[in-house]
Structure 1
Amino acid sequence: MTRLRTLLGAVLILAGSSLAQAAEPLKIGVSAGPYSEILDFAAKLHKQKTGADIKVVEFSDYTQPNAALAQGDIDFNNFQHKPYLDNQIKTRGYDLVAVERSIVVPLGLYSKTLKSLDELKDGASIAIPNDPANGARALLLLQQSGLITVDPKAGNAATPLDIVANAKKLKFREIDAAQLPRSLDDVDVSAVPLNYAVAAGINPKTALFREGIDTPWGLWFVTQTKRKDDPAIHSFIATYRSPEVKAFIEKRFDGTIIPTW
């Protein structure tokens, strides 16, 4: 009888442990700013719809969410576009995969001194992100605006060395993305990701030029490859890609962030 009680107690302990683990909320990583605000809204809606908790974990820069995901500290993240993810996988060896699109958060060209890109003088200074994927993104946006031409062979890996036409002899400064809003005091134009623009109090609608919905740089939900079919993750993504979240984004951000559904 004593042995039976011991075995029964062990089974109950294991069962309790399993239930506790099942009750652990999924953790989703994000960089601070509007991405996080949307995820917070979606997490509350998901709780109402399914009863499941989602914990939104904010990071201060672009490198931390993928490192935390690769280490298993979070379950998935939503802060990056595919070119950035591809570069991280190539350079850091992460076993991560993009599972579903979320939003387009347009990169914009901002200035404190200019009202139009036509006012740019020869030799003007341009700040762009210093990470490879977003640096290329900024250069391709500048090309789209008509200021430069980038070697088409460079594609999404373009650097300032791949500029083949620069009529105004623009000078480029590569700066950490989080510091780009501050760079506006020192440069003529800065290519600022929207989340950092909003965090710095910059109105995205004041951009002299910005990406549209057709950009290939939209954001994705990303997780470890072994969890790409995890039903709990896909359940939250379904809530995120719902009419309620779309309506929230359109009202809250007044067209400056674009849902992809």
Structure 2
Amino acid sequence: MKKIITSILAAAAVFGFVSCNKSSGKSSEVVVKLGVTGSVYEDLWEPAQKALKEQGINLKIVQFTDYVTPNNALANGEIDLNGFQHRIFFATEIKNKGYDISLIGNTFLTPLNVYSNKIKSIDELKDGDVVAIPNDVTNGGRAIKVLESAGLITLKEDAGFNPTVNDIVGNPKNIVIKELAANTIPSALNDVTAAAINGNYALDFNIDPKTAIVKDTLEDKEYWNLIAARTADLKDKEKVAVYDKIVKAYQSAATEDVYNNKFSGYYIKTGWGIDELEQYK
């Protein structure tokens, strides 16, 4: 894993075109800042960065340490794009915080598995054992559904797509569900019996997905990860053209090779055949 870029720049104008120097014959360069969460994204985006460089686009990766900040930074113009979240989280953020941001491309589906440093099988869970899940609504809801699929809990019939702990009506093992910030769960793994850990954080902490005691098999479209941009920027045809190149550079055989070879197929390409920018072109 490459080192995480530690600084987040809050420049007033972060999307800009370097002036064309006609006397020297140099081509102009477009600088685009992409917000992500976790060093794994630097590996995932490396092939696209190289391909875009040849097209005069300098795609800079800006690291964030949580899931809350990247959408706020995008909406406020501190970055140009972000690529860290799935659709249901994205929709919830827009609904709750009023962000005027839009989906422009699809990336991958990644599981939210359950891991443990104390037991080898989910069957070893005992009465009162603690299982940690993310405390944000969407990833927490997904984790609850994973626990349900493993037979650990049952939910109300009308729980809906994104359940909460209040929707649990059956808990035969009397497990204690502890809600923690998603980025802190890997470091708390020794303090709980088991934990549902988001894929990017699991990889950042070198947690092998093959060691999961519960595999997330949910393939709903709502869990597709995406690339987002400010809606206002999509009125600018020139920016849309640049963003289209960025999406296409990511959705490439080179990126899929990283999925399959570097991460053993842990990431699964999803929605690459859908042109989410078509309406803005």
Range class of TM-score, shorter chain: 0.7 to 0.9
* Partner of residue 176, structure 2: 171
* Partner of residue 189, structure 2: 184
Size of the aligned set, in residue pairs, is 244
Q: 1:228 to 1:209 in 2, by over 3 A?
A: farther
- How large is the Cα RMSD of the aligned pairs? 1.9
State the Cα distance separating 1:166 from its structure 2 match. 1.3
* Partner of residue 258, structure 2: 248
For 1:228 and 1:250, locate their aligned partners in 2 and report how far apart those are by CA, in whole Å: 32
* Partner of residue 218, structure 1: 224
State the Cα distance separating 1:30 from its structure 2 match. 0.4
For 2:70 and 2:46, locate their aligned partners in 1 and report how far apart those are by CA, in whole Å: 16
Amino acid in structure 2 at the alignment position of 1:142: L
* Partner of residue 257, structure 1: 267
Contact 1:83 1:156 in 2 (8 A): no
* Partner of residue 28, structure 1: 34
Higher alpha-carbon deviation: 19-28 or 238-247? 19-28
Q: Deviations over 1:167-225 (max 9, x none)?
A: 11111110011110122111111000111111112112111122247244121111112
For 2:30 and 2:53, locate their aligned partners in 1 and report how far apart those are by CA, in whole Å: 13
For 2:183 and 2:59, locate their aligned partners in 1 and report how far apart those are by CA, in whole Å: 26
Which has the larger Rg?
1
Contact 1:107 1:194 in 2 (8 A): yes
For 1:152 and 1:228, locate their aligned partners in 2 and report how far apart those are by CA, in whole Å: 40
State the Cα distance separating 1:53 from its structure 2 match. 1.4
For 2:168 and 2:213, locate their aligned partners in 1 and report how far apart those are by CA, in whole Å: 21
User: In the alignment, which of 213, 233, 242 is matched to residue 208 of structure 1?
Assistant: 213
For 1:33 and 1:18, locate their aligned partners in 2 and report how far apart those are by CA, in whole Å: 27
Amino acid in structure 2 at the alignment position of 1:137: R
Does residue 37 in structure 1 map to residue 43 in structure 2? Answer: yes
State the Cα distance separating 1:34 from its structure 2 match. 1.6
TM-score by length of 2: 0.81
Q: 1:151 to 1:101 in 2, by over 3 A?
A: farther
* Partner of residue 103, structure 1: 108
Ranges in structure 1 where 5+ consecutive residues have no aligned partner:
1-16
For 1:213 and 1:257, locate their aligned partners in 2 and report how far apart those are by CA, in whole Å: 13
* Partner of residue 143, structure 1: 148
Q: 1:61 to 1:181 in 2, by over 3 A?
A: same
For 1:196 and 1:202, locate their aligned partners in 2 and report how far apart those are by CA, in whole Å: 9
More helix by share: 1
User: In the alignment, which of 245, 254, 258 is matched to residue 235 of structure 1?
Assistant: 245
For 1:60 and 1:183, locate their aligned partners in 2 and report how far apart those are by CA, in whole Å: 16
State the Cα distance separating 1:84 from its structure 2 match. 0.8
Contact 2:43 2:258 in 1 (8 A): no
State the Cα distance separating 1:23 from its structure 2 match. 3.2
